[in-house]
Every structure is written in C-alpha cells, then in structure tokens.
C-alpha cells in the first residue's frame, strides 16, 4: 500500500486508536502499517461496523518487524520505521535537528523516553534511530531491513470465539439492532413522504 491504502484501519488486531498486538497508540490508522497486518478473509472492510467482530487473539503471535509510517514528506511515498512503539511524524514548527544542529522547517519528530527529538531529514532520523538500537537502548530492527508484506502464514492466526466479554458482544448486538431500526425508520418516513406528495398532487390535479 504505497499511498496509504488501508493500513491499520481494517486490521483484525486493531481497535480504534490502538494496536492490540503491540499495545501501541495509533494516531493515523490509514497511514500506519506493519508486517502483522491481517484483514478479514474477503479483504479489507469496515470492521468497526462488522456485527460480532472480535479482534484476533494475540496469544503466542510473533511480532514481525517494526511499525511503519507511510509518508510522502520527501517526495515519493516511503515506509518510515517507528522506534519501538513511538511514532515518527512531521510537525509544523522550526526546531533544531538533534543530529546536525541545523534549524529545520517542518522537521520530523519523535518522543522517546520522555524527551522530544527532531530531525531535518529522515536520513538523520535513521542515523539516530540505529544508534539507539545498536547501543541497546531500544529493541527494534535496524533501519532499511524492509517492510515485510502480508504473508500467507498470517492466515494461521485463529479467531477466538470467546474473545471479548459477553457485555461487549451484547453491546455490539444492541448497536446493530438500533442501526437497523433507524435505517428502517428512515426508509418508512421517506416512503410516507413520497405517498403524501402523490396524494397532494392527485388532489391538485383532480
């Protein structure tokens, strides 16, 4: 998905704002992805509206590689690796690059260990990122190891019917009921409105 596509948004490990597999906060779900992304069998869909949807069980699931931000900040679309569960993003300020010290307009920024680091380019971010990994301060894959794409072995992940509490399942069913109720109500009101217009028209003509 070089230009954003579906990303985390429709992944079966995802609930709005959070990756349940990595316990990571996701702020841009169509523009964030990882090698564990797993969709429903019939492809990406709006799982938030899927009746009875339950996220996949994460027990014993191997976390594959880094989380990536999909961005075109520097021209062509790129997959930019986060550092562990910390997001790298562009900010609309002028700040000093943490690597070279130059002032950067709309730099790349990351919050790491309660401190904000900014970079004039992704190359300088990669340099800093790899240093954290090589020095043992972070556990992640070295930059440029590549984005592992969705693979056939992801299909072995099991959908656990017990996933989610009874209260959550009941809430999902109630939500679906009221959605169908109001949808049917709108249809009936529209039909009534059309019939009323026809009655008025007939009375005016005849």
Residue 171: the pLDDT is 61
pLDDT attached to residue 153: 32
pLDDT digits (tens, 9 = 90+) for 23-67: 999 998 888 989 888 877 665 555 555 544 566 778 788 888 899
pLDDT of residue 6: 67
H or E element at residue 182: helix 166-205
The pLDDT of residue 182 is 82
Q: Give the mean pLDDT per block of 10 residues along the chain (206 residues).
A: 62 86 90 85 56 66 89 79 93 92 91 94 93 93 59 34 47 65 84 85 77
Predicted structure pTM score? 0.65
Separation of CA 75 from chain center: 22
pLDDT of 190 reads: 86
Where are the chain's structural domains? 1-64+148-163, 85-144, 165-206
Please give the Cα distance from 97 to 9 (Å, whole number).
32
Are 67 and 79 in contact by the 8 Å Cβ rule? The answer is no
**Residue 98: predicted pLDDT:** 94
What's residue 30's pLDDT? Answer: 85
97 with 60: CB under 8 angstroms? no
Q: Provide the b/e sequence for 61-72 (b: ≥16 CB within 10 Å).
A: beebebbbbbbe
């Amino acid at each position: 998905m070089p230009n954003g596509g579906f990303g985390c948004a429709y992944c079966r490990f995802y609930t709005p704002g959070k990756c349940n597999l990595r316990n990571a906060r996701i702020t841009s779900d169509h523009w964030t992805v990882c090698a564990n992304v797993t969709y429903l069998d019939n492809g990406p869909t709006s799982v938030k509206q899927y009746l009875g949807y339950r996220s996949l069980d994460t027990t014993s699931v191997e976390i594959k590689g880094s989380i990536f931000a999909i961005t075109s900040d520097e021209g062509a679309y790129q997959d930019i690796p986060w550092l562990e569960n910390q997001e790298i993003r562009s900010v609309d300020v002028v700040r000093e690059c943490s690597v070279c010290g130059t002032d950067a307009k709309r730099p790349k920024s990351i919050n790491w260990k309660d401190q904000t680091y900014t970079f004039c380019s992704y190359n300088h971010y990669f340099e800093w990122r790899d240093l954290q990994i090589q020095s043992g301060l972070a556990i992640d894959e070295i930059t440029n190891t590549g984005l592992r794409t969705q693979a056939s072995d992801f299909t072995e992940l099991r959908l656990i019917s017990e996933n989610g509490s009874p209260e959550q399942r009941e809430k999902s069913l109630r939500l679906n009921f009221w959605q169908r109720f109001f949808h049917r109500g709108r249809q009936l009101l529209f039909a009534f409105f059309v019939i009323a217009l026809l009655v008025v028209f007939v009375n005016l003509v005849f």
